[in-house]
Each structure stands twice: as structure tokens, then as C-alpha cells.
């Protein structure tokens, strides 16, 4: 499995080029039946909650698809906290204009809950804009509550 579906701050193409220089972006799409949420606010301390996805019929998450080189995949697992157990990888179906693609996403290991910091949420909004997310998706993201 070489396709990675980036959401959250990894929607930023420059960030992904830094993490995965051998892994091109190959398109965008939607994970249907899932929603973007936040988790870990109670265990991560001052940083607030972090982005994750959870199953949610009727919802969908905008993603950027990357064809990840194995060397870059190992680096990304480290950066995303798989090695430390903070996140785990799962496989999902991504709907694209060219048909469905199977890809992995990183899902927080723990319970949903908590709010992101205003800084972190602004990073997610900017990343979504850079990846070409639709304006209504970006606006819903921008309107999320943040941690004081």
C-alpha cells in the first residue's frame, strides 16, 4: 500500500515535500463516511487536541493523496507518531474524480475530545487552502472552536 491520504496539517504540499521528498501528490479526494475531529486534548498538555478522523455516516473529509516511497513512509510514520504509539495506520477508501482508491490514514490512538489551539487550527485551515479544499469545507474548519 503506497497511497497516503493526508488531512489536517499534512494537506500542505510544502510540509509533505519536506517530510516525503520522494513521494508526489497524485490527487485529491474525499473519505466518505468519516469526519475530521480532534483528540488527545486531555493527554497532550499545553498543545491542545490534534486532528484525527472518526467514522461518521453522512460526513466526509477532504484529503490529498500521495504515492509514498517506502523510505518516505518510514519517515512519515516517525513524524506522525506511529512509532511512539500516538497514531496508528488504517486503510480507507478515498473517492476521487477518477474512481475510488485505497489509502492509509493516521488515526489518533485514544478517545475523541478536546479542542485545538487557535494556532493549530489556523495551520489546518492554511493547509486545506493550499491543497485546494473547497471554500465551504475550509469555512467549516475555520469556524471550529479552539482552546483558550
- Compute the distance between CA of residue 115 and CA of residue 147 in angstroms, rounded to an integer: 5
pLDDT tens sequence for the chain (148 residues): 699 999 999 999 999 999 999 999 999 999 999 999 999 876 655 578 999 999 999 999 999 999 999 999 999 999 998 988 889 999 999 999 999 999 999 999 988 888 999 999 999 999 999 999 999 999 999 999 998 6
Q: Does 143 fall in a domain?
A: no
Q: Does 13 fall in a domain?
A: yes
Q: Does 118 fall in a domain?
A: yes
Picking from 12, 4, 146, the residue whose alpha carbon sits closest to that of residue 82 is 4
Domain that holds residue 110: 3-135
Cell 523510505 belongs to which residue?
71
What pTM, to 2 d.p., does this model score?
0.93
3-class secondary-structure state, position 69: coil
Query: H or E segment at 34?
Result: strand 25-39
What pLDDT does residue 41 have? 76
Q: Does 87 fall in a domain?
A: yes
CATH number where 127 lies: 3.10.490.10
Number of domains composing the chain: 1
Q: Does 147 fall in a domain?
A: no
Q: Does 45 fall in a domain?
A: yes
Q: Does 142 fall in a domain?
A: no
Reading the block at residue 98, the C-alpha cell is 477518477
Q: Does 23 fall in a domain?
A: yes
Amino acid at each position: 500500500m503506497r497511497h497516503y491520504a493526508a488531512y489536517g496539517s499534512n494537506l500542505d504540499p510544502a510540509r509533505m515535500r519536506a517530510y516525503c521528498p520522494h513521494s508526489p501528490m497524485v490527487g485529491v479526494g474525499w473519505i466518505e463516511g468519516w469526519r475530521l475531529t480532534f483528540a488527545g486534548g486531555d493527554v497532550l498538555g499545553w498543545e491542545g487536541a490534534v486532528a484525527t478522523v472518526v467514522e461518521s455516516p453522512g460526513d466526509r473529509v477532504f484529503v490529498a493523496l500521495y504515492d509514498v516511497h517506502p523510505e518516505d513512509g518510514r519517515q512519515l510514520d516517525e513524524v506522525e507518531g506511529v512509532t511512539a504509539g500516538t497514531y496508528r495506520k488504517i486503510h480507507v477508501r478515498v473517492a476521487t474524480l477518477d474512481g475510488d482508491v485505497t489509502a492509509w490514514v493516521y488515526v489518533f490512538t485514544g478517545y475523541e475530545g478536546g479542542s485545538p489551539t487557535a494556532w493549530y487550527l489556523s495551520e489546518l485551515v492554511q493547509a486545506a487552502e493550499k491543497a485546494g479544499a473547497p471554500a465551504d469545507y475550509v469555512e467549516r474548519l475555520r469556524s471550529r472552536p479552539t482552546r483558550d
